[in-house]
Amino acid sequence: MGKDCGNHGHDDMRHTCRRLVAVLVGLAVLVGIIALIIYLVLRPTHPRFYLQDASLRQLDLSNSSGGLLSTSIQVTLASRNPNDRVGVYYDRLDVYASYKYQQITVAASLPPVYQGHGDVDVWSPVLSGPNVPFAPYLADAISQDCQAGYLILQVKIDGRVRWKVGSWISGHYHLFVTCPAFLVTNGGNGVPGANGFRFQTTTYCHVEV
């Protein structure tokens, strides 16, 4: 009799474990279904960024001491939240300029902001990079571009965002934005320097979240 009672105890434990596993699996499936329904209803879309203007104030290239580049450029960036039910918290936005993947200005921090449904925000920071060490091959490339009368820079944003749906707020997500800035001279034959360069057209930025 004692042996039979022991077997019944093990059977009860197995049944309990099976019920617990079934409950956990059911909860996981339910959470997945709820998440899928929320996604299909809300259809969250990442913010859209545009580079509206870029005014080159300084572009001085010195070949002494291995090559130094001094740059100052004022940019105008716009962001729009295309979601109807999802708000966006921009907790950190650092903006800088680069040339052929090398950062040429110090990152400028934009003030934190909440962007509601369909809202648009505009920023106009000045990006400066005094005496940035510049590789010789990049110095040659930027000189050739200027002589040809055009210059392509990238305005980049490195930030952290959160989503808001009703009273629920998500954790932080990394935001990375790249905006091409097309600068041209009126008649070509440009030289390393800010004189003569103008912003060509508003550009749509590539956004990764």
Task: Write the DSSP symbol of residue 138.
Answer: H
pLDDT of the residue at 90: 97
Query: Minimum mean pLDDT among 60-64, 178-182, 187-191, 199-203: which range?
Result: 187-191
Distance CA 102, CA 154 (A): 10
Which pLDDT does position 27 carry in this prediction? 87
The pLDDT value recorded for residue 14 is 76
Spell out the alpha helix ranges (H) of the chain. Answer: 2-42, 136-148
Q: 10 versus 162: which is more confidently predicted?
A: 162
- pLDDT tens for 27-43 read 888 877 766 566 545 56
Q: Kindly report, residue by residue over 92-119, the tens digit of the pLDDT.
A: 999 999 999 999 999 999 999 999 989 9
- The predicted pLDDT at position 15 comes to 76
Residues 6+ apart with CB under 8 A from 107: 94, 95, 96, 158
Average pLDDT in the chain: 85
Mean pLDDT, rounded, for 1-10: 56
The pLDDT of residue 165: 84
